Amino acid sequence: MHLLAGIGGLGESLWGYLIPFLFVLTVVVFFHEMGHFLVARLCGVKVDTFSIGFGREITGWTDRHGTRWKICWVPLGGYVKFVGDESAASTPDRRRLAAIPEEERA
């Protein structure tokens, strides 16, 4: 019986640690990504997206500079996406000048 009482308290302690951990992680990620965002803006790099979390968007807004600020469902990180940032996971944007072959550029 004593073992079952300990298992019942496991869920309470898990939530007692998990929620504060995710909150602190989100705050740390926000300031970390804000550093990337501010340096990019100071260097004249346009920012497409500032995201806290991954996955589908819960809520968001677009500022006057065209940056999409969003909060997503999986609170385990975040990212700042820059215009023209072509990583291996990105798909090339045919509309960008760098993506157009030289002979097609006017």
Q: How many CB atoms lie under 10 A from the CB of residue 71?
A: 15
Strands, E assignment, 13-93: 47-62, 68-82
- Does the annotation mark 33 as catalytic? yes
Ordered per-residue pLDDT tens for the chain, 106 residues:
555 555 556 667 778 888 899 999 999 999 999 999 999 999 899 999 999 999 999 999 999 999 999 999 999 999 999 998 766 555 655 556 666 677 765 5
Q: Is the overall model pTM greater than 0.85, yes or no?
A: no
Amino acid 32 reads H
Annotated active-site residue in 12, 33, 57, 103: 33
- Cβ–Cβ under 8 Å, residues 26 and 19: no
Q: Say what the pLDDT of residue 84 is.
A: 83
